[in-house]
């Protein structure tokens, strides 16, 4: 109960300071602008009423005793001229009488050509004339001197030069301090503060990661009612690290935590701390935590933590690494002598293997929450969330679409819905149909259609037999995934055709026979080309690459070879950035590596022989399906199984799309 005033009151302080600051700034700017406009108006009005004449013409008027008033200034002479009713032209007056003789030493001015009758105020530039005062006295002129006005002197000598220097310095400081920052604020953190009322994302807006939401509910409960945990002696985690592949919703999940707890939310990227100036990143870390303590309880979210949290190394020589200094400051702020009461750090990364061990120890990031790709139910929930603002047709079955997108992340599912909406708009439809969603899945997985890539009849025939070879191997292997579609329409960058196989359900374990049947299915396209044409082509390059990788994993990683045994002869380096792709490093002797190569070659040879035997036995079905495929270019699963005389495999759920089984030619 004692902590409530300290928790709630500081939140209103920054808003009051930010509200008053712009008002005073506006008053000062308004006063300066008004002063400048007043001075400009006076100067322009005075200049508009004066006629500028040459100095020689002024001396001529002075010699004719037409100058009645004169004010001698530092650089100019202002006054009044009252012309007489006469014109000076060719040395005679208008009546033919001679003109008044000018004063001594003054010649008549040839510039006065016409008659002047009305008085006017004049202005002329002052020149060095020692006899000017004597001539003014001789002409009976009422003259005097004048100093610059206070307002003109103040603006011209002080305000305008100072304002110009201030603007110039401010522009230079912004250039030196980086984008949008002055040189005086370079050590400030660029964290974006989202107030509790502006964070409108809740757990209902995040779908497909129920386990992660369950882990984070404790953080939400602690921020709402901390006394419940403190009375039991429980210590809430200071930091929670969200780990997962890109596009799984880590940032959205962090915003949902702030929205559920209704607390301020500081959002910043790890790259915003690093600058080329040494010490700037550490200063920004300290400034960020100082702001967070003022707004406590609050959440600090650091996206892409691996930008500053990489493993520290040992440098030889006097090397001062800016990134390591920033990491050291972060480690001290998270678990130093001063506790950060009410400040919880959420961080996200897709490369947890490169983070420093000191950053992951208890007391800093106590908990790691894995945000993985959603399962079947999670994908359906994600599709429902992203389809709220889209018009769906009555025939749309999101459950079937969810089952057809196994392994895809939330961002991929959102992209599929967006592509379906674009396809529906392209055909001028009123709603998104099931066909649009299925076409969007093919476009995202296999790539867009390449209508410009035209194949000749021989190439199209070879591609058709190649794809039908994959499909027949799937139909006659009991452990293979059912065929969903066969197409010889070129897609993407290199696919001249594809065979799409859909597993019955999400699989997490595979037996040796299932892996062997997958290798046979991958080699079915090359086997069909050899059976029909008697020679092979380059179209099986992707199939051979994947089949070889799968056979090498069986021998070196899974212990599925009698000669190699159970020894793990390779190390793979998983990375969330690569997804299912990873690099395998050999961890065995040269003799064992030679044995592994022989076993891999033997596995591929046996599987290829089995594929050729199966396709030779069912040559009639190979010809029948290939001829039909050449006519229509695309065959769906039920049509394929009808052509080969088999029933369409029944699955518990609508068959999901297995991206690894889509075969490219």
Instruction: Point out the residues that are catalytic.
Output: 467
Interior/surface letters 633-657, b for 16+ CB within 10 angstroms, e for the rest: eebbbebbbebbeeeebeeeeebbb
- Any idea which residue has 């980086």 for tokens? 178
Report the distance separating Cα 665 and Cα 539, nearest Å.
Answer: 5
Residue 85 DSSP SS3: coil
Cα 409 to Cα 301, 395, 400, 578: the distances in Å are 21, 24, 16, 13
Residues 427, 431, 434, CA angle at the centre, nearest 5°? 85
Strands 192-194 and 265-269: antiparallel
What's the 3-state SS for 552-620?
HHHHHCCCCECCCECCCCEEEECCCCCCCCCEEEECCCHHHHHHHHHHHHHHHHHHHHHHHHHHHHCHH
Report the distance separating Cα 203 and Cα 216, nearest Å.
Answer: 10
- Say if CB 216 and CB 253 are below 8 A apart: yes
Residues 6+ apart with CB under 8 A from 303: 250, 251, 267, 268, 269, 270, 347, 348
What's the 3-state SS for 89-140?
ECCECCCCCECCCCCCCCCCCCCCCCCCCCCEEEEEECCCCCCHHHHHHHCC
Q: Name the CA dihedral angle for 292, 293, 297, 298, rounded to a multiple of 10 degrees.
A: 10
């Amino acid at each position: 109960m004692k902590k409530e005033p300290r928790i709630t009151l500081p939140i209103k302080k920054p808003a009051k300071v930010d509200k008053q600051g712009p008002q005073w700034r506006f008053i000062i700017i308004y006063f300066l602008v008004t002063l400048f406009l007043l001075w400009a108006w006076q100067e322009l009005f005075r200049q508009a009423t004066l006629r500028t004449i040459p100095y020689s013409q002024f001396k001529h008027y002075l010699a004719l005793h037409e100058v009645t008033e004169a004010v001698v200034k530092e650089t100019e002479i202002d006054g009044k001229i009252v012309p007489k009713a006469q014109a000076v032209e060719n040395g005679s007056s208008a009546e033919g009488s001679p003109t008044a003789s000018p004063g001594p030493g003054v010649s008549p001015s040839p510039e006065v050509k016409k008659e002047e009758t009305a008085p006017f105020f004049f202005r002329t530039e002052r020149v060095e004339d020692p006899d000017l005062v004597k001539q003014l006295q001789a002409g009976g002129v009422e003259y005097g001197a004048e100093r610059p006005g206070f307002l003109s002197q103040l603006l011209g000598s002080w305000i305008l030069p100072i304002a110009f220097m201030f603007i110039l310095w401010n522009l230079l400081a912004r250039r030196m301090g980086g984008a949008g920052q002055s040189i005086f604020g370079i050590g400030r953190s660029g964290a974006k503060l989202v107030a509790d009322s502006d964070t409108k994302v809740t757990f209902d807006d995040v779908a497909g990661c129920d386990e992660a939401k369950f882990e984070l509910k404790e953080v939400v409960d602690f921020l709402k009612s901390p006394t419940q945990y403190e009375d039991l002696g429980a210590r809430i985690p200071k930091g929670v690290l969200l780990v997962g592949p890109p596009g799984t919703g880590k940032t959205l999940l962090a915003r949902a935590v702030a929205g559920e707890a209704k607390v301020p939310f500081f959002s910043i990227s790890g790259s915003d701390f690093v600058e080329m100036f040494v010490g700037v990143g550490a200063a920004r870390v300290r400034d960020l935590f100082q702001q967070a303590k003022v707004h406590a309880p609050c959440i600090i979210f650091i996206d892409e933590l691996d930008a500053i949290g990489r493993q520290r190394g040992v440098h030889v020589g006097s090397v001062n690494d800016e990134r390591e200094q920033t990491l050291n400051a972060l480690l001290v702020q998270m678990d130093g002598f001063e506790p950060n009461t009410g400040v919880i750090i959420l961080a996200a990364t897709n490369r947890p293997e490169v983070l420093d061990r000191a950053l992951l120890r208890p007391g800093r990031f106590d908990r790691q929450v894995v945000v993985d790709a959603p399962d079947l139910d999670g994908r359906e929930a994600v599709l429902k969330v992203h389809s709220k603002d889209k018009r769906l047709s009555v025939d749309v079955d999101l459950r079937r679409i969810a089952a057809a997108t196994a392994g895809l992340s939330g961002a991929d599912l959102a992209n599929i819905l967006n592509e379906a909406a674009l396809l529906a708009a392209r055909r001028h439809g009123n709603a998104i149909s099931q066909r649009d969603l299925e076409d969007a899945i093919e476009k995202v997985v296999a790539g867009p259609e390449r209508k410009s890539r035209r194949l000749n009849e021989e190439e199209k025939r070879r591609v058709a037999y190649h794809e039908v070879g994959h499909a027949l191997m799937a139909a006659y292997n009991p452990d293979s995934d059912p065929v969903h579609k066969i197409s010889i329409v070129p897609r993407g960058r290199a696919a001249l055709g594809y065979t799409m196989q859909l597993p019955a359900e999400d699989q997490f374990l595979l037996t040796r026979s299932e892996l062997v049947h997958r290798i046979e299915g991958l080699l079915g396209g090359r086997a069909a080309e050899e059976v029909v044409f008697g020679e092979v082509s380059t179209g099986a390059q992707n199939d051979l690459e994947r089949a070889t990788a799968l056979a090498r994993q069986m021998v070196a990683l899974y212990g599925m070879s009698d000669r190699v045994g159970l020894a793990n002869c390779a190390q793979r380096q998983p990375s969330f950035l690569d997804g299912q792709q990873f690099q395998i490093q050999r961890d065995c002797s040269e003799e064992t590596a030679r044995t592994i190569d022989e076993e891999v070659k033997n596995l591929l040879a046996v599987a290829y022989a089995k594929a050729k035997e199966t396709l030779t036995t069912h040559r009639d079905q190979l010809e029948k399906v290939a001829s039909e495929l050449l006519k229509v270019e695309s065959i769906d699963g039920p049509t394929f199984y009808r052509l080969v005389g088999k029933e369409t495999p029944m699955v518990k759920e609508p068959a999901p799309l297995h991206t690894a089984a889509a075969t490219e030619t």
